[in-house]
């Protein structure tokens, strides 16, 4: 059966497959190896009955997709969102395979998701759901099998409930099964900031390549969650002017610069940017089209489309989110030729790299300082950037295709060397 007609059928999964095929063509992969490398290894679908605060039972559906296990245990976050689909989770798991491979991590790609709006749950309901999800996927995960982490709609506290549930079943505390945990439970210093810091690092590195200094840099960020806010702070501290931010309720624009610390404090208190007095209220659509040096989509996938790609007014598009640019939009940006795209599998890899550091620290029971974490992180980011830039020039292709060529090649080689069993 053709993969695009499978259970994973969705626009975002088709997007991931099209990206894969472009890189596989450059690599000259034969049909058999191509399908083996593309196709998810395992998919777990779980039904989770949860008792709500009012006493009634709610049934939630969740997924865990392990895309690749040939290069190590699966690695990838758990998303709690009302629009989660199996195809979306499968696509995200595929991108995690290439991201881990590109960064040189001993992991395959995985991803999890639950169809729920966590904002509508009480703290107790969220805990019950988190523990129930872990209970249901428990036979398929472990420090050497599959290592989840936070994603959209989940956080350190959710990870704490999950690692506690897993450990209770093991009969001993086993922190290496989850990353993105609180520090008190074996989390790594720097993990919370890592994805956003990594995005900012790549932005600064590519701005330097373009000979654009901080004083000439304006930044717009779509998505003001953990990734977006940390990237914004890092670029602000560097000297750039952040002129636009947004969340699911809409955006804020201030051409003179937004007071980021005030914005973060406002969101912490109000759980939304809506009503923030530090600028003009605009829609997310308007925000994406603001003139700026750097545009960072840092929320969900498929927000840059053929409808708005021609209207972008940035010099650099830094993909803090996974899959934010559709294939049609990618083609438009390629034809335009005036926007440098830092692809997701490179740009937001800081999070999974420091997750790897957290896992290592858990296995060794030896913990590093924040300075040590970031020193190691920046060295790995620099190595990945150099490899992508070299490959981009070698094949005269986009940075996205270059990054995918590197990531896919390692996974395909591992599959070919291991062979078929039985």
pLDDT of residue 1: 45
Average pLDDT over residues 78-89: 97
The verdict on 149 and 287 lying in the same domain is no
The verdict on 211 and 317 lying in the same domain is yes
In a domain, 114, yes or no: yes
| Residue-wise pLDDT tens digits, 72-81 | 999 999 999 9
The verdict on 252 and 336 lying in the same domain is yes
Q: Name residue 18's beta-bridge partners.
A: none
As a whole-number percent, the residues of the chain with pLDDT over 70 amount to 99
Average pLDDT over residues 391-401: 97
Write down the pTM of the prediction: 0.96
> Which residue segment(s) compose the domain that 158 sits in?
3-14+38-173
pLDDT of residue 421: 85
Average pLDDT over residues 393-402: 97
**Separation of alpha carbons 334 and 19, rounded Å:** 14
Q: With a cut of 90, say whether residue 5 has pLDDT above it.
A: no
Q: Which of 143, 19, 154 is nearest to 78 (CA)?
A: 154
Average model confidence (pLDDT) for the chain? Answer: 96
Token pair for 350: 């800081």
**Separation of alpha carbons 86 and 13, rounded Å:** 9
The verdict on 169 and 294 lying in the same domain is no
**C-beta separation of 232 from 219 below 8 A:** yes
| Residue-wise pLDDT tens digits, 274-295 | 999 999 999 999 999 999 999 9
Q: Is 394 annotated as catalytic?
A: no
pLDDT of residue 139: 96
In a domain, 361, yes or no: no
Total count of domains within the chain:
2
pLDDT of residue 257: 97
* Confidence at 422, pLDDT banded by 50, 70, 90: confident
Domain of 300: which CATH number?
A: 3.40.50.720
How many Cβ atoms sit within 10 Å of the Cβ of residue 269?
A: 8
pLDDT of residue 3: 59
| Residue-wise pLDDT tens digits, 146-201 | 999 999 999 999 999 999 999 999 999 999 999 999 999 999 999 999 999 999 99
The verdict on 202 and 323 lying in the same domain is yes
pLDDT of residue 64: 98
pLDDT of residue 2: 57
As a whole-number percent, the residues of the chain with pLDDT over 90 amount to 97
The verdict on 10 and 151 lying in the same domain is yes
pLDDT of residue 119: 94
pLDDT of residue 232: 97
In a domain, 363, yes or no: no
pLDDT of residue 9: 85
Domain termination site, one of 119, 141, 173: 173
List, in sequence order, the alpha helices (H) in 28-137: 31-38, 86-103, 123-137
The verdict on 78 and 123 lying in the same domain is yes
In a domain, 19, yes or no: no
* Confidence at 4, pLDDT banded by 50, 70, 90: low
* Confidence at 353, pLDDT banded by 50, 70, 90: very high
Domain of 68: which CATH number?
A: 3.40.50.10860
Catalytic residue among 75, 111, 181, 204: 111
Q: Which of 287, 349, 360, 280 is nearest to 320 (CA)?
A: 349
What's the CA angle centered on 188, arms 182 and 192, to 5 degrees? 70
* Confidence at 6, pLDDT banded by 50, 70, 90: confident
**Alpha-carbon distances of 254 from 167, 243, 251, 399, rounded to whole Å:** 48, 5, 10, 31
pLDDT of residue 405: 98
The verdict on 105 and 233 lying in the same domain is no
The verdict on 290 and 215 lying in the same domain is yes
| Residue-wise pLDDT tens digits, 358-369 | 999 999 999 999
Dihedral pair phi/psi, residue 382, rounded to 5°: -65, -40
| Residue-wise pLDDT tens digits, 107-160 | 999 999 999 999 999 999 999 999 999 999 999 999 999 999 999 999 999 999
pLDDT of residue 207: 98
């Amino acid at each position: 059966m053709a993969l695009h007609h499978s259970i994973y059928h969705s626009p975002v999964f088709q997007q991931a497959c099209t990206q894969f095929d472009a890189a596989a063509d450059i690599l000259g992969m034969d049909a058999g190896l191509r399908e083996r490398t593309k196709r998810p290894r395992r998919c777990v679908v779980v039904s989770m009955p949860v008792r709500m605060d009012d006493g009634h039972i709610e049934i939630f559906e969740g997924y865990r997709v392990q895309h690749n296990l040939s290069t190590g245990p699966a690695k990838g976050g758990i998303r709690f969102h009302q629009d989660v689909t199996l195809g979306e989770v499968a696509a995200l798991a595929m991108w995690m395979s290439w991201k881990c491979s590109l960064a040189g991590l001993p992991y395959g790609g995985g991803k999890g998701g639950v169809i729920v709006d966590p904002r509508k749950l009480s703290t107790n309901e969220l805990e019950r759901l988190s523990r129930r999800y872990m209970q249901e996927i428990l036979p398929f995960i472990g420090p050497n099998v599959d290592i989840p982490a936070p994603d959209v709609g989940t956080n350190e506290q959710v990870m704490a409930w999950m690692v506690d549930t897993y450990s209770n079943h093991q009969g001993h505390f086993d922190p290496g099964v989850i990353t993105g945990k609180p520090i008190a439970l074996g989390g790594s210093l720097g993990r919370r900031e890592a994805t956003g810091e990594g995005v900012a690092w790549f932005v600064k590195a590519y701005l330097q390549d373009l000979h654009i200094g901080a004083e000439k840099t304006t930044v717009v960020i779509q998505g003001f969650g953990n990734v977006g806010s940390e990237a914004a702070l890092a670029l602000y501290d560097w000297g750039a002017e952040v002129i636009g931010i947004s969340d699911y309720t809409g955006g804020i624009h201030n051409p003179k610069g937004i007071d980021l610390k005030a914005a973060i404090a406002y969101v912490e208190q109000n759980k939304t940017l809506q009503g923030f007095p530090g600028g003009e209220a605009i829609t997310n659509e308007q925000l994406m089209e603001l003139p700026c040096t750097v545009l960072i989509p840092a929320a969900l996938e498929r927000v840059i489309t053929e409808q708005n790609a021609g209207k972008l007014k940035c010099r650099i598009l830094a993909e803090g989110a996974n899959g934010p640019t559709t294939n049609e939009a990618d083609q438009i940006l390629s034809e335009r030729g005036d926007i440098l795209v830092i692809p997701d599998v490179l740009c937001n890899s800081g999070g999974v790299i420091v997750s790897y550091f957290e896992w290592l620290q858990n296995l060794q029971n030896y913990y590093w300082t924040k300075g040590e974490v970031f020193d190691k992180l920046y060295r790995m980011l620099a190595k990945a950037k150099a490899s992508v830039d070299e490959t981009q020039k070698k094949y005269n292709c986009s940075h996205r295709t270059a990054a995918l060529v590197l990531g896919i090649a390692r996974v395909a080689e591992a599959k070919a060397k291991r062979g078929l069993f039985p």
